[in-house]
Amino acid sequence: MTIIAQHGELFILLACVFGFFMAWGVGANDVANAMGTSVGSKAITIRQAICIAIVFEFLGAWLAGGEVTATIRNGIIDPTLLSSEPQYLVYGMLSSLLAAAIWLMIASKQGWPVSTTHSVVGAIVGFAVAGLGPSSVQWGEVGQIVSSWVVSPVTAGVIAFLLFRSIQTLIFENKDPLAAARRYVPGYMFLVGFIVAMVTLLKGLSHVGLNLSFTDALLWAMGVGAIITLLGILLERRITHEPRGGNRSSFTGVERIFGVLMMFTACAMAFAHGSNDVANAVGPLAAVVSVVQSQGQIGGDAALPWWILILGGGGIVVGLLTYGHRVIATVGTGITELTPSRGFAATLAAATTVVIASGTGLPISTTHTLVGAVLGVGLARGMQALNLRVLGTIVISWLVTLPAGAALSIIFFFMLKGMFG
């Protein structure tokens, strides 16, 4: 009797426990990033953020649910090397889930926004090097992932800087900021609708089997942009303004308009994130279930049972409820002080970067993108607006993520190998 036939049920049970733990980490850390700008800018309360995340993250994950998870996510290792020893894949995926989850727990406790994708990647690389030797790792992929540490925050930072400068110039430096806001905000609303639709069509819905070309997605997104603009104009008209109180109250009125916009961007960010990052938790879990159910055969694809997504979605919600507030505080208030207009520029810049990355196939991390965008908004107000100590800590936690995941994964891999043989 093979090891997999002998301990199959135990492996599935362990995979579910570790997968839930990993999904908890995604909720505590990654979802908190997606919501940090909206909460930090006081556009929505933490309770509203949790409600939005529960609905839209779950929708994103559920729509992404028909996805056939590649047996080993991201093509980091070559699965054919494991066909003679399929139990190594099971040990490896279990140790990767546990290692990434523990690192996310440590990071969330400290309030560091780290990348769940990179935690999983580091863990899988660790077990592959330890169990199969360095030649089993596709180092080109790993190199691309490392390059994204620079590419995504810089791109998002530049876009956020330009966006916020445009808001400052067109609206806040105008003689009548409120009138200027009513004139220019519909343009920003179109941008929101357009970018969000692009993120969803390119990244979110490809799993449902809706594979639109870039041009088709572009046309659909323009339509959505137009609808959101109309909706926004109607909502904006309902905002009442007190004419007295000079410039101060017109600034408040402008921020309230941007507060309405932040509701849209928060929902969008949660949906895009759910469709994209839930796979971090459920990918390795699906791989274990697939190997056990096929009695040790390593196929090209692992069909995703529906209950795995429910488990992932549930874990994310629990993570957000328990530890999410710490990372929300770092992204929302720790790096620089955010108002609805600044938060809007940061979130839109992050979403735009995700679209550009999807269109060009660049590797990207939502976390790094958002932190870069918040940084860009801070820089638009001058260096003194940034908290450099918090930034230093964040950058160090990013650099440690891959090696931390790898080291923990190697330890767990040899523990499991020792226990099961």
- pLDDT tens string 97-123: 999 999 999 988 888 888 887 888 889
- pLDDT score of 142: 79
> Is-contact 61 309, C-beta < 8 A?
yes
Q: What is the pLDDT of residues 312-367, one digit of tens each?
A: 878 888 888 888 878 887 777 777 888 888 888 888 888 888 777 766 666 677 78
Per-domain residue ranges of the chain: 1-420
- Report the pLDDT value the prediction gives residue 320, as an integer from 0 to 100: 84
* pLDDT score of 411 more than 70: yes
Q: Is 252 exposed, middle or buried (0-12, 13-18, 19+ CB in 10 A)?
A: middle
pTM of the model: 0.81
Model pLDDT for residues 261-280, shown as the tens digit of each residue? 888 778 877 776 776 677 67
Q: Higher-confidence residue: 106 or 247?
A: 106
pLDDT tens digits along 388-407: 888 888 888 888 988 999 99
**DSSP label of 3:** H
Return the minimum-mean-pLDDT range out of 50-59, 214-223, 410-419: 50-59
302: β partners: 69
Q: What is the pLDDT of residue 68?
A: 35
Stretch 374-388: mean pLDDT, rounded? 85
Between 67 and 211, the more confident residue is 211
State residue 74's pLDDT score: 47
List CB contacts of 132: < 8 A, sequence separation 6 or more: 77, 81, 82, 88
Model confidence at 251: pLDDT above 50 = yes
Mean pLDDT of the chain: 80
Whether 236 has a pLDDT exceeding 80, the answer reads: no
Most confident range, picked from 148-162, 191-205, 343-357: 148-162
Kindly state the DSSP code that residue 297 receives in the 8-state scheme.
-
Task: Answer for the pair 290, 303: CB distance below 8 angstroms, yes or no.
Answer: yes
CA 186, distance to chain mean position in Å, is 27
Query: Quick one: pLDDT at residue 103?
Result: 94
Give tens-digit pLDDT for 65-87. 444 344 344 467 776 776 777 78
Q: What six digits make up the tokens of 238?
A: 């309902």
Between these two residues, 239 and 17, which has the higher pLDDT value?
17
Nearest to 316 by CA among 25, 27, 18, 20: 27
Measured distance CA(207)–CA(69) in Å, rounded: 9
The pLDDT assigned to 66 comes to 42
Q: What is the mean pLDDT of residues 211-223?
A: 84
Q: How confident is the model at residue 159 (pLDDT cuts 50, 70, 90)?
A: very high
Dump strand ranges (E) for 279-408: 301-302
Q: How confident is the model at residue 14 (pLDDT cuts 50, 70, 90)?
A: very high
More confident residue, 75 or 163: 163
Q: At what angle do helices 340-360 and 32-40 cross, to 10 degrees?
A: 150
**Structure confidence at residue 162 (pLDDT):** 94
